[in-house]
Structure 1
Amino acid sequence: MPPSSPRRPGGAAALAVVAAALLLLASASLFVGSAGLTPRAVLAGDPAALRLLLASRLPRTLAVLLAGLSLGIAAVLMQVLFRNRFVEPTTAGTADFAGLGLVLAAILAPGLPVWGKMLVATGFALVGTAIFLRIVGRIAWRDDAVVPLIGLMLGGVVGAASAFLAYRFDLVQMLSAWTSGDFSGVLRGRYELLWFAGGVAILAYAAADRFTVAGLGENFSTNLGLDHRATVRAGLAVVALVTASCTVTVGMVPFLGLMVANGVCLVMGDNLRRSLPWIALAGAAFLLLCDMAGRLVHFPYEIPVGTVAGVVGSGLFLQMLLSRRVRLG
């Protein structure tokens, strides 16, 4: 018998390899852009280096990974449920409504704890997504590119209202922190809400098959016995919770899901059961690379992660609009 050809690693093995590579990248990022922290100092047990590592660098790296993971999953859920590859929280007005909720919470209840702010932002994100759905439902011509442009215009109007209120009540600096993804202020005790966002996003994997079927349309999913409206509501609730948690903790990160979800789905297909783990890893890796680039481009100064991701993501968004290679099936 001829010798058998070597077997390629299966999906689980490939995921494990990618996860290990991401872990190595995350370990390296702990020391990038920090003159006062080196691997030698940590291995030598330097107390100052260990305090800096545990209080700042490790929480920041975990926050980046959790935000990238959860935002990538939230984006692909929106794309599947809206059946449009150009939709994500920052192109559907969801993030802007969450920001408006935070501004109103700061005005009306300035002493509200962070959990309360997250709940307020989640409620506004759900309302904003519902308004976006209602507007899109009334449009006869639903071109792939028109739908996200409507979301961007809606988000622009809401963002202008937030800016006016922030200016009126002297909250401009606070609004700036919520609208630009910046991990420089992440410390131990100030990022733990992102564990909740990551947990909610990972729980979406349990209902991945339902979301996949719901993305095929209401008539098709109903014929298969699926409660389409309840599934869509559950998916949008996940999106709202993730968006609100990330906005409250580190601010908005534009276009992340647009790149990650589309890039993975072009290779892996639209089956969420198969693609969600890859999207989670890709989102975490992309945001981690943006964070490292922001620390190195203008060292010793730092460029916010949201700015780096926005520049790269907006370029890809324009390319997608012009090439129109990404379409609904």
Structure 2
Amino acid sequence: MQKNTIQKITGSENSQTQCYNHNKIWTKPFILAIIAVIILGVISLFTGVYDIRGQEDGINMFFITRVPRTAALMLTGAAMSMSGLVMQLITQNRLVEPTTTGTIEWAGLGLILVYLLFPAPTLVLRMTGAILFSFIGTMIYFLFLRRVKLRSSLIVPIIGIMLGAVISAISTFVGLAFQMKQNIETWFVGSFASVLIGKYEYLWLIVIVTFLIFIYADRLTLAGLGEDVATSLGVNYSKIVLFGTGLISFAVGIVAAVIGNLPFLGLIVPNIVSMYRGDDLRSNLPWVCVLGMGTITVCDIISRTIIMPFEVPVSLILGTVGSVVFIVILSKQRRLR
């Protein structure tokens, strides 16, 4: 009897220790992941057609093009992965991210309308339009979900994909009707080729978004347990969902205005992290940001080298990888049923 009691106590202590170690941030694997991302960043800095070491203005071109591009990769990877993580918590669905909820398509519609109202809009105006319509579109998506009684794991993303397809069709029609086809094509082809010094600095606002999400991580995690549970634990569910949606819209709007459409990044990374670490937002957020940075940097390096001296849009690489991961996740959920 005494032996069984000691075994139970020891087992409880071991499980608590494992849980503690599981939620720790600064672990050896995380430090190795940071080192790997730093190495990828260095590779990105020295990847390209232009010979920065053999030309007289190589140093200038290094700081004008390579450094901004690498910084934009890191910030964008963190933003889109983080947005997918928060969306999956709020909707309680693994298959949700800005691409499968129509958020990115709404941002594109906002950009088209800004170009329609202002023939030569500044980056601030484009960002404002993208952020505003991202927020409106995401809230409309949540309203649709509230009216749907059948909330299976497949219905939730399908509603977002259908809504996004409608908004994308409207954007295309408006662009063709008002001869803005080039603006539409530029947005749909998400690429970092045009990132230069002076044209990406607003992406640093994503750091503020990350900081705010980390502060409210516990409340967002409770919101992910459902309205009834969150309310019973003293969390204002409606306010925290509105706050989380606003942060997501802000991050997605900035990325859409500066870079363009980057599909499936918010689907791949959060699912991989949650698969191994569970659903605790506070401990997962650093992992999601770091892996998001690494994923998009790898895709961008491939896009620059696969058919050198030409460059493939990074959205093409991301879309291909993301589609495969999306199908794998669907197949896995079907087998679990």
Distance 2:190 2:56 in 1: 31
Residue type at the aligned position of 2:232: N
- Unaligned residue ranges in structure 2 (runs of 5+): 1-20
Q: Secondary structure at the match of 1:324?
A: helix
Q: Does 1:54 align with 2:63?
A: yes
- Shift of residue 47 of structure 1? 4.3
Segment of structure 1 superposing worse, 165-174 or 85-94: 165-174
**Matched ranges for 1:214-225 at <5 A:** 214-225=223-234
Which residue of structure 2 aligns with residue 229 of structure 1?
Answer: 238
C-alpha separation in 1, matches of 2:83 and 2:266: 8
Q: Deviations over 1:195-247 (max 9, x none)?
A: 11233133211111111011111111111111111110110001100110000
Q: Counterparts of 1:47 and 1:275 in 2: how far apart (Å)? A: 45
Task: Look up the match of 2:51.
Answer: 36
Give, in whole Å, the separation in 1 of the partners of 2:271 and 2:262: 16
2:145 is the counterpart of 1:130: no
Match of residue 258 from structure 1? 267
The partner residue of 1:199 within 205, 208, 216 is: 208
The within-5 A match list for 1:58-137 is 58-137=67-146
| Alpha-carbon contact 1:183-1:305 (below 8 Å) kept | yes
What do the CA deviations read for 1:102-137 (whole angstroms, capped 9, x no partner)?
101110123432112212211111111111111122
Which residue of structure 1 aligns with residue 15 of structure 2? none
Aligned residues: 315
Structure 1 residue 282: deviation in Å? 0.3
Q: Deviations over 1:80-107 (max 9, x none)?
A: 0011110001100111011001101110
Aligned equivalents of 1:321 and 1:158: distance in 2?
A: 25
- Deviation of 1:144 after TM superposition, in Å, equals 0.3
Q: 1:5 matched to which residue of 2?
A: none
Code of the aligned partner of 1:19: I
C-alpha contact 1:201 1:242 (8 A) present in aligned 2 = no
Q: Which moved more, 1:313-322 or 1:80-89?
A: 313-322
Equivalent residue number for residue 32 of structure 2: 17
Distance in 2, matches of 1:26 and 1:321, equals: 32
Output the amino acid matched with 1:126. F
Unaligned runs of 5+ in 1: 1-7
Q: Cα distance, 1:325 vs. partner?
A: 6.5
Post-superposition shift, 1:35?
A: 4.3
Contact 1:85 1:327 survives alignment (8 Å)? no
Hey, what's the Cα distance between the residues in 2 that align with 1:198 and 1:118? 16
Determine the structure 2 residue equivalent to 1:210.
219
Deviation at 1:303, TM superposition (A): 0.5
One-letter identity of the residue aligned with 1:30? L
Q: CA RMSD in A?
A: 1.9
Larger radius of gyration between Structure 1 and Structure 2: 2
